[in-house]
Amino acid sequence: MSNAMTPLKLAIVGPGRMGAIYARLANELATAQLVAICGRSNTSTHALANEYSVPGYVDGAHQQMLAAHPEIEAVIVSASEWAHTEPVLAAIDAGKHVLVEKPMAIAEAGAAEMVDRAEKAGVTLLVGHSLRFDLRFAAMRQAVHEGKIGEVLHVYARRNPPQVVAERVLGRFPLVYWLMPHDIDMMLWTVDSPVIKVMAHSRAGGRERTDFIIAVLTFASGAVGVVESSWGTPAHGGRPQTELFTIRGTAGAAEVTGHENGVGVYVAGSDADYPDTGYAPLIHGEQDGIFRRVFRHFVGVVQGQWEPVVTGPDGLAAIRVAAAIERSLNDGQEVVLESENDYGQ
């Protein structure tokens, strides 16, 4: 385990938007040191590597990177959603701690193998379920766990990005693994009970351009959850209510209006602008927000400063529910999950 006073030496696999955020955080925070970057694109990989004066490895050469830099202690895998499994397993097998962006995998088998190998290797495996580091969601979950709303009866989550945003991933992997794992994980974390049954609904046909998914989750506690995600939301200049999370109990209720950022900029002749104030805003020249907290937490866990807020088994739990939603969509039937499985906490 690393000394808390020594910067954690880490590498990044995936030089896209998230990789660039984590590279900047590694450069800004004294607790971490960026050693190398790996990606599939020569242009983006070397652009980010040159920005921070570290070696860049292209064409997915993560094995080569790991062999060339034995000093690497941890790896952040922020590659495309469908390209997580191979670099995560390679890093684990090399004895490195891993932070993998969500979804940790786009199949249950891949996620389960990550968890199994990490446990056998004795390394930390964290999953980037960023809502756990959103102060609003964390406060909501804390209120529920303090019993302020009583016994949980039902919960509802909506996450409907504009169709244009989904174009990057359409046809590359089942859309149930894209954004729904955020809310599935938040439900599991907040309700604190495994999902035992799933029934999912969508339009018939056109699987690569599924317009929406609505899934009904039954928890072992008796609570019922509804998860909604639509890929057909139009782009427009108003303030769409794209994200919502509500939970009802026997003594009260709680909600998070995730689409609200608290500030809007309106200029004649152009669409309204709602600056990011939550995920990765640049404040006073520094990277701030949720992903800063994710990064700082991962480093602190590896350095033994605190226990993990979100673990590999937690990520696997969300993937198992997502896989059940996928099966229900394909078969048109309710799917029963085995309650004895470890569904995280």
pLDDT band at 178 (very low <50, low <70, confident <90, very high): confident
Q: What's the Cα-to-Cα distance from 155 to each of 242, 253, 322, rounded to whole Å?
A: 17, 10, 17
**pLDDT in the model for residue 344:** 46
Between the alpha carbon of residue 45 and those of residues 88, 157, 165, 217, 277, the distances in Å are 18, 36, 23, 40, 27
Instruction: Residue count of the chain, please give it.
Output: 345
Q: Are 345 and 312 in contact (CB under 8 A)?
A: no
- The strand order across the sheet containing 74-77 reads 56-57, 32-38, 8-13, 74-77, 97-101, 125-128
What's the mean pLDDT in 179-199? 96
Q: Which pLDDT band holds residue 127 (cuts at 50, 70, 90)? A: very high
- Prior bond to 15 cis, omega within 30? no
Residue 209, pLDDT score:
53
Q: Can you tell me the distance from the alpha carbon of 326 to that of 48, in angstroms, rounded to the nearest whole number? A: 36
Position 184 scores a pLDDT of 98
Q: What tokens does 151 get?
A: 């016994």
Place of tokens 């599939």: 40
Instruction: Calculate the alpha carbon distances from 66 to 21, 38, 49, 85, 120 in Å.
Output: 21, 10, 16, 16, 19
Residue 345 has pLDDT above 50, yes or no: no
pLDDT given at position 173: 79
Sign (positive or negative) of CA dihedral 56, 62, 64, 69: positive
What are the pLDDT digits (tens) for 213-265? Answer: 999 999 999 999 999 988 766 665 455 567 899 999 999 999 999 888 889 89
pLDDT above 60: residue 340: no
Question: How far is residue 86's CA from residue 79's CA, in Å, rounded to a whole number?
Answer: 11
At residue 148 the predicted structure's pLDDT band, cuts being 50, 70 and 90, is: very high
Q: What is the mean pLDDT of residues 157-182?
A: 81
Average pLDDT over residues 3-15: 87
Side-chain-side CA neighbours of 2 within 13 Å: the count stands at 26
Tens-place pLDDT, residues 262-298? 898 999 988 788 888 899 999 999 999 999 999 999 9
Residue 185, pLDDT > 60, answer yes
Give the position of tokens 């590896």: 302
Question: Pick from 288, 282, 263: which is nearest to 274 by CA?
Answer: 263
What does the alpha-carbon distance between residue 136 and residue 128 come to, in Å, rounded to a whole number? 17
pLDDT at res. 165: 72
- Could you report the per-residue pLDDT of 24-76, keeping only the tens digit for each? 999 999 999 999 999 999 999 999 999 999 999 998 899 999 999 999 999 99
Residue 342 has a pLDDT of 43
CA atoms within 13 A on the CB side of 293: 16
pLDDT (tens digit per residue) in 71-123: 999 999 999 999 999 999 999 999 999 999 999 999 999 999 999 999 999 99
89 or 176, greater pLDDT: 89
